[in-house]
Amino acid sequence: MVVAAHAEDPTLPFQDVWWISLIKLLGVFVILLLLTLFTINYERKVVARMAVRPGPNQVGPKGWLQSLTDGLKLPFKEEIIPKTADKVVYFIAPVISCTTAFTAFAVIPFGGMVSMFGHKTALQLTDVPVSVLVLLACSSMSVYGVVLSGWASGSTYPLLGGLRSSAQMISYEVAMGLSIVAVFMTAGTMSTSQIVKAQAEGNPFHFLGMDLTTPSWYAVLLLPSFVIYMIAAVGETNRAPFDLPEAESELVGGFHTEYSSFKFAMFFLAEYINMITVSAFCTTLFLGGWRAPWPITAIWSGANSGWFGMIWFFAKVLIFLFGFIWLRATLPRMRYDQFMRFGWKVLIPVNLVWILFLSYVKVANNEFSDRTKWLSIGGIVVVILLVALFWPASKKPRQVSIEEQLAARPPGSFPVPPMDLQVPPSPRARRAVAERTPATVGGDSETKEV
């Protein structure tokens, strides 16, 4: 028997009975599988709607069982393993990707404290004081599955896809990690459940003699970190427009080109679970986690009690998943050098400047008076905006004309074909072309040659 409890935040450490932990473990596993099946169909239907076409509509009610039948079909398909593949690593790679994707969800809180079969427990599998680092570690370990799958296939295109994917994931993981630093500094903890608790109410502050309250959600209070996290999350999960490791036009299918049957299904499952994980992580860090948004809590005092937290949590996750799908249906794929330059030269420097600014604000709150604090913060903001506005742009090299390029060629170089694509006739193939008399109709003898 499951009874709803009042809104109560969990405390560390968790001390659950072993069979309660087993129930929660199976529950997380089932929820992720069901969410994956739903997200695949959700994506296909939303993209079809945006492209003005039907989408899946044959299997099940309005086509909602299409992804389930595809998932049941994949394990029974013929498995083709390349002769040059390293059999052991070839098998381990998809297991690593799938395992890390499932493990990352262990520290995500779905709700507050509830009563389950007479035992009070948190709607979270586990939590530790450094839960956010556990999530970052799992995302780092997923890179190994991608790299090993590309290398173990014994093929060129999967190897190139694995290298590109590892470079991309590592680059944008740095930006993602820096965007979370602002959350640590504001909440004062790395525990996911305590970060949700810190967003329950806004913090009071004084502004020129007025008593105000900061927004409770870090998506508003730490807007630059929220935007950078969302961009980095798309790059981390290899989703369009950042799906360069799986660019079909360049690398066939990327790192999993040589995979089929159940192993391919594991990569497919890991990709969608990673989407769900980064969406749930963003909900926890920036959107108040399982707590209901402000208009609902103002109308209904029991919105956050018991099992209702799961409703608000998964509603926010589905909104983020819709954002992933919207980007895929809207934006074209970026060029690889532009994508990497954007991560290293834009996201990471902006993150570092934002962290330094937040550090100064925390020091100013404790050291300076109200007037001095706001004047100094305003001056820093003006300086940052002026530096960004007048930052010298990189000078593009002068475009050299074709004639200048030809003139700069050293003597004895290979001949260059004509630029107007008019190929002159070869002197060795000269032949006389007889002039033909135009044909006439009527009056001429039948023996006249035409």
User: 162 and 267 in contact (C-beta within 8 Å)?
Assistant: no
Residues facing residue 213 across a β-bridge:
204
- Residue 2 pLDDT: 37
- Residue 367 pLDDT: 78
CA distances for 413 relative to 408, 410, 417, angstroms: 11, 6, 12
Q: How many CA atoms lie within 13 Å of 63's alpha carbon, on the beta-carbon side?
A: 13
- Residue 431 pLDDT: 56
Phi-psi region of 175 (alpha: psi -120 to 50; beta: other; left: phi over 0): alpha
- The secondary structure of 256-311 as a DSSP string is GTT--HHHHHHHHHHHHHHHHHHHHHHHHHHS-TTSPPHHHHHH-TTTTSTTHHHH
State the pairing for strand pair 119-122/204-207: unpaired
To which residue do tokens 């994917």 refer?
A: 165
pTM score: 0.80
- Residue 39 pLDDT: 92
* pLDDT tens digits, 186-237: 888 888 988 998 888 766 666 666 666 667 889 888 899 999 999 999 888 8
Q: Nearest CA to 224 among 47, 79, 355, 366?
A: 355
Q: Which residues of the chain have pLDDT under 50?
A: 1-6, 446-450
In whole angstroms, what is the distance from residue 160 CA to residue 45 CA? 32
- b/e code 20-46 from CB counts within 10 Å (16+ = b): eeeebeeebeeebeebbbbbbbbbbbb
